[in-house]
């Protein structure tokens, strides 16, 4: 679709206008940290400093391999690089949405474009674009691995699973797909994912041996304390289980870690059950949402799997399910987490229950979506079945 690059440029220019108000600090950290790493600095020893970043600086929390890969953000002047980055994010979102839409859907391109526009206006993607985040790229790598053919041209040189390993080698969260692959006996993909991840560790070690040793033997165990930026763990921006527990009180965080383990197991078991029922894409999205639930810190812009999950659920379900999807989409479009926080801070006591629901809306919507995928795992959707019958996803016969 030629309109996608145009949309990407439009949104890139819109977010360029906000640079003075909301600097793309995540993108800038990628840029400054990658440059510093090539200059021989230990980017894990201190915060990253630079123009438009807070005076106290911000930490770089990704792997040494990521630092080398993110050098692409420094190839051009800042504003040009940020425009290209934003355009790429919109293009990846278009790819993700396209994966979820049945090929036989009437007026498919129009619906695709409408969903892309709505997706860019959702709280998840809007914050992703504002801060210049990387999560859409990582989700795109993982989904591309699942949807491409085993015998395709690229798969001859890059086996299925390698892209998942590379994504995990950039940011550890996608590694949750490896136990899922093992549980569903997708042995070749699992081995390839492990090999891909190991390859990124080796490459990072060769390029930055001292930093790699520091990261893998020290910093990797301190990521949570760095990612939460010191004071933001219990904020509305962190919609993980532990973040919600932190909002109740600091005392609730430690007990919530037991819940996290249980949810991780249940989420993977649910994904495996959905996969065995033939709903391959729904299973993958279940794993992606589970990762956000169990991660200590899941900022709003981390929940990129939620948007395709709602699209898939729309085609899988019927009237009541679609009402839920419509309501969930509305919450994403009105930026429910921020609205919920505003209600709790400035509203009356009568609005407190609604404020709590909206504040933790990403967490609650994801749990409900995973539960609905599991409940509807044996249901056949003609439109989605037509999509998968054309070979877009591999595995057991699909009944999405």
Compute mean pLDDT per 10 residues along the chain, 400 residues long, and list them: 61 60 88 94 91 89 95 91 91 94 90 92 92 96 91 80 97 96 96 97 94 90 70 82 89 91 97 95 97 94 96 93 96 91 86 91 96 86 41 42
Q: What separation, in Å, do the N-terminal and C-terminal C-alpha atoms of the chain show?
A: 25
| Structural contact between residues 200 and 169, judged by C-beta atoms closer than 8 angstroms | yes
| Structural contact between residues 63 and 69, judged by C-beta atoms closer than 8 angstroms | no
DSSP, collapsed to helix, strand or coil, labels residue 394 as coil
The reported pLDDT for the residue numbered 5 is 63
Burial of 44 (C-beta count, 10 Å sphere; 0-12/13-18/19+): buried
| Total residue count of the chain as it appears in this document | 400
Structure pTM?
Answer: 0.90
Q: Is 307 left (phi over 0), alpha (psi -120 to 50) or beta?
A: alpha
The reported pLDDT for the residue numbered 150 is 75
As beta bridge partners, residue 216 has none
The reported pLDDT for the residue numbered 379 is 67
The reported pLDDT for the residue numbered 399 is 34
| Structural contact between residues 219 and 274, judged by C-beta atoms closer than 8 angstroms | no
Cα distances from 218 to residues 30, 31, 37, in angstroms, run 21, 23, 18
The reported pLDDT for the residue numbered 380 is 57
As beta bridge partners, residue 299 has 238
Contacts of 315 (CB under 8 A, 6+ apart): 100, 102, 381, 383, 384, 400
Give the tokens for residue 42: 């230990």
The reported pLDDT for the residue numbered 7 is 63
The reported pLDDT for the residue numbered 359 is 93
């Amino acid at each position: 679709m030629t309109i996608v690059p145009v949309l990407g440029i439009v949104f890139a220019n819109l977010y360029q206008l906000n640079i003075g108000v909301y600097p793309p600090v995540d993108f800038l950290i990628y840029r400054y940290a990658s440059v510093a790493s090539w200059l021989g600095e230990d980017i894990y020893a201190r915060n990253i400093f630079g123009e438009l970043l807070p005076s106290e600086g911000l930490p770089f929390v990704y792997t040494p391999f990521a630092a080398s890969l993110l050098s692409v953000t420094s190839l051009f002047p800042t504003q040009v690089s940020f425009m290209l980055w934003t355009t790429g994010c919109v293009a990846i979102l278009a790819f993700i949405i396209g994966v979820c839409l049945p090929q036989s859907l009437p007026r498919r391109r129009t619906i695709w474009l409408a969903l892309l526009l709505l997706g860019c206006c959702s709280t998840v993607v809007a914050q992703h674009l504002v801060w210049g985040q990387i999560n859409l790229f990582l989700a795109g790598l993982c989904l591309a691995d699942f949807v491409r053919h085993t015998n395709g041209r690229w798969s001859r040189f890059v086996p299925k699973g390698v892209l998942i390993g590379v994504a995990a080698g950039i940011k550890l969260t996608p590694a949750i797909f490896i136990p899922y692959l093992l549980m569903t006996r997708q042995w070749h993909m699992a081995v390839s994912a492990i090999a891909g991840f190991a390859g990124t560790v080796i490459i990072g070690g060769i390029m930055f041996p001292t930093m790699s040793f520091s990261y893998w033997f020290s910093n990797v165990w301190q990521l949570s304390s760095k990612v939460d930026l010191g004071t933001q763990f219990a904020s509305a921006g962190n919609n993980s289980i532990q973040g919600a527990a932190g909002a109740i009180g600091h005392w609730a965080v430690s007990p919530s870690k037991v819940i996290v383990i249980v949810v991780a197991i249940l989420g993977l078991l649910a994904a495996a059950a959905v996969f065995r029922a033939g709903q391959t894409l729904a299973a993958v999205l279940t794993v992606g949402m589970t990762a956000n639930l169990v991660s200590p810190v899941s900022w709003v812009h981390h929940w990129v799997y939620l948007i395709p999950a709602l699209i898939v659920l729309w085609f899988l379900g019927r009237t009541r399910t679609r009402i839920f999807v419509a309501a969930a989409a509305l919450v994403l479009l009105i930026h429910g987490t921020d609205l919920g926080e505003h209600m709790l801070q400035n509203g009356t006591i009568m609005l407190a229950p609604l404020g709590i629901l909206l504040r933790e809306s990403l967490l609650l919507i994801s749990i409900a979506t995973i539960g609905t995928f599991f409940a509807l795992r044996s249901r056949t959707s003609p439109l989605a079945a037509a999509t998968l019958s054309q070979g877009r996803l591999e595995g057991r016969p699909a009944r999405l």
